[in-house]
């Protein structure tokens, strides 16, 4: 459900839970994707790094960090772009563009040394040379993990991470692109805007509540670890 907005995601999950009940499959009444798939400490770190505090953004954060395929974020307001840069800054993130002359060379170096890469300004088509990377066509050569990019064979580090963002507000990706990436919709909708603004207002107007919330999040996380 990554490409869809809040209302449709809620509609889908509600439909699935209803179907599960008719099949006598146990399901929580208060199920929330972000609550069951994200660690409170991770969410707190994401918020500090610039990810908005609403549930929709947290769901997107889970999809970006836990998805099997590399994420392609539909990001007209550049929220995902700024968050990913801040999150991966300590690891030396490389920011590249398909129009750069040394684009492939930068990518090869990052893959070899295990540096995260953010590919900005993606259009509706991806460079064909990226296909082995998107499909994670890693192979062993002399006991070392390698990947082929164009005519080059590059040593592949398990620490490597690859992110893509597009500023297009409503891109149309062909099925052959969608099956190679995890498309995630970061577009701020009218439903999501009040939740984001409320979180910002609380932080500014009642910083004591925000501090209390962070303390409780940490206490709950520590309690879960203890249990």
- Residue-wise pLDDT for 137-183, tens only, equals 999 988 999 999 888 899 999 999 999 999 998 899 999 999 999 99
Q: Determine the pLDDT at residue 80.
A: 95
CA distances (Å), origin 48, targets 154, 163, 214: 35, 20, 11
> In residues, how long is the chain?
227
End-to-end CA distance of the chain: 32
CA distances (Å), origin 139, targets 9, 156, 180: 37, 9, 18
Torsion angles phi and psi, residue 74, rounded to 5: -80, 110
Token look-up 């500023």 returns 167
CA distances (Å), origin 213, targets 40, 51, 61, 226: 11, 17, 20, 20
Q: Is 129 helix (H, G, I), strand (E, B) or coil?
A: helix
CA distances (Å), origin 220, targets 29, 171, 225: 21, 40, 9
195 pLDDT exceeds 80? no
44 pLDDT exceeds 90? no
Q: Determine the pLDDT at residue 6.
A: 85
22 pLDDT exceeds 90? yes
């Amino acid at each position: 459900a990554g490409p869809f907005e809040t209302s449709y995601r809620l509609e889908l999950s509600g439909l699935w839970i209803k179907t599960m009940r008719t099949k006598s499959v146990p399901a929580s009444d208060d199920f929330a994707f972000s609550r069951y798939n994200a660690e409170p400490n991770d969410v707190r770190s994401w918020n500090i790094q610039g990810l908005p505090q609403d549930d929709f953004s947290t769901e997107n954060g889970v999809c970006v960090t836990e998805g099997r395929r590399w994420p392609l974020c539909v990001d007209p307001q550049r929220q995902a772009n700024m968050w990913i840069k801040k999150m991966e800054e300590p690891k030396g993130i490389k920011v590249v563009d398909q129009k750069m002359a040394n684009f492939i060379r930068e990518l090869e170096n990052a893959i070899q040394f295990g540096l995260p890469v953010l590919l900005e300004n993606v259009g509706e088509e991806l460079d064909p040379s990226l296909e082995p990377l998107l499909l994670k066509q890693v192979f062993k050569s002399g006991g070392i993990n390698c990947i082929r990019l164009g005519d080059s064979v590059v040593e592949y580090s398990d620490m490597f991470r690859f992110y893509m963002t597009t500023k297009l507000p409503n891109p149309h990706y062909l099925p052959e692109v969608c099956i190679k990436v995890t498309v995630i919709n970061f577009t701020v909708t009218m439903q999501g805007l009040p939740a984001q603004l409320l979180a910002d207002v609380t932080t500014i107007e009642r910083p004591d509540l925000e501090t209390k919330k962070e303390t409780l999040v940490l206490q709950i996380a520590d309690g879960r670890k203890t249990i």
